[in-house]
Structure 1
Amino acid sequence: MRTTDKQPRTSPLVPDAVAREISRHDWDSLTCGCGRPAGHLVDTLWDAAEGHPAAFHALEGHAFHTGRLRAPAPAVCGALMAVWSAGPPRQATREALLWALLRLLGTEDDGTSHEAGLYGQCAAHIRAGLPGLRRSTGAPGSVSAAYVEGILRLLDLSD
């Protein structure tokens, strides 16, 4: 059964916009970084959207691995940015989400950052959410602020 054919998942902790972003992808048509169809990432993304910091770290080996982006990376990045836009409530969740975004930008694909390859698609998702990232950096010197600064640097947008 394809992920898109399953009954939609719901959670009172996940805003509708995040649920729509996760469900709009045909995850099973993507080959995950672990070699299986990426449908199993849906549960991880729901856990992330519900605010579980470990879920963001669990994306390693699936959306990115050993310095390279994998096929589900753009869809994962879109879902992560939807979570960010919804405003992750806890500091640990925000930090884990920013860590995952930084990891996505700190990897590479077959093209360059100027092509619409995996990296370019991820960068486009993150650029679209930059106003929210800049507003929510946290206190200067905080982990969140350092992650946002790293994201801006990788996008060549730091001051």
Structure 2
Amino acid sequence: MRASIRELRRHDWSALRCGCGQSGAHLAESFSRLLNARSTQETIGYTLENHLEVQSMLFEVAPHAVPVMLTALGEDLHDSVRGHFLGMLEYLVTGESHQSEIEAGRPDLEEECIAAVREGIVVLYTEAASGDAEAAFDILEFVDEDEDRLGYYRSVLAARRSP
């Protein structure tokens, strides 16, 4: 079994609030479909938008989704799913807790997401080196506290792309 599926199963999604107004129970199916998709067609109807976040306002499910997406980025994913996960990670590290989450005692979901991304930061540097560097660096700018490392990778990868 893939590590991303194990990570997905580690969480009790039904106990978490989702941006759609339901519990996060349905996210296990959405994630499974995305993780197993081999074509863009197979991803239709399965998105994390308006579930983890709504207009960059984060919900309780968000920080739990981060390790699933990071683990998946280290695996074989369809390009559209890889792009979706990278986009979602950027929303999660730049967003803020929805008012309902603040009222429920979760005012720092963005900090939880940033901390979760930092735990798997090497995955983003791997993505920058061998995948979508621009998307990876968009996330790394918000999460990597080591400016020397960020600058080094930017310069090395920029030099590699130069003619």
Normalised-by-shorter TM-score class: 0.7 to 0.9
Q: Which amino acid aligns with 2:22?
A: R
Is 1:78 the counterpart of 2:67? The answer is yes
Where do 5+ consecutive residues of structure 1 fail to align? 1-13
TM-score, normalized by length of structure 1? 0.73
Is 1:126 the counterpart of 2:117? The answer is yes
Quote the residue 1:7 is aligned against. Answer: none
- For the residues of structure 2 that align with 1:83 and 1:126, how far apart are their CA atoms? 13
- Judging by fraction of residues, say which structure has more helix: 2
- For the residues of structure 2 that align with 1:89 and 1:156, how far apart are their CA atoms? 24
Root-mean-square deviation (CA, aligned residues, Å) is 2.8
Is 1:18 the counterpart of 2:24? The answer is no
Is 1:104 the counterpart of 2:95? The answer is no
Quote the residue 2:21 is aligned against. Answer: 35
Q: Judging changes above 3 Å, is the alpha-carbon distance between structure 1 residues 145 and 90 closer, same or farther for their aligned structure 2 residues?
A: same
SS at match of 2:11: coil
Which of 80, 95, 98 does residue 83 from structure 2 map onto? Answer: 95
- For the residues of structure 1 that align with 2:44 and 2:32, how far apart are their CA atoms? 9
Is residue 33–residue 46 contact of structure 2 (8 Å, CA) maintained in 1? no
TM-score, normalized by length of structure 2? 0.71
Larger radius of gyration: 2
SS at match of 1:88: coil
- For the residues of structure 2 that align with 1:147 and 1:41, how far apart are their CA atoms? 23
Is residue 45–residue 55 contact of structure 1 (8 Å, CA) maintained in 2? no
Q: Deviations over 1:45-95 (max 9, x none)?
A: 11222146647971111101122111100111121112123x234433322
Report the count of equivalent residues. 138
Quote the residue 2:156 is aligned against. Answer: none
Identity %: 25
SS at match of 2:96: coil
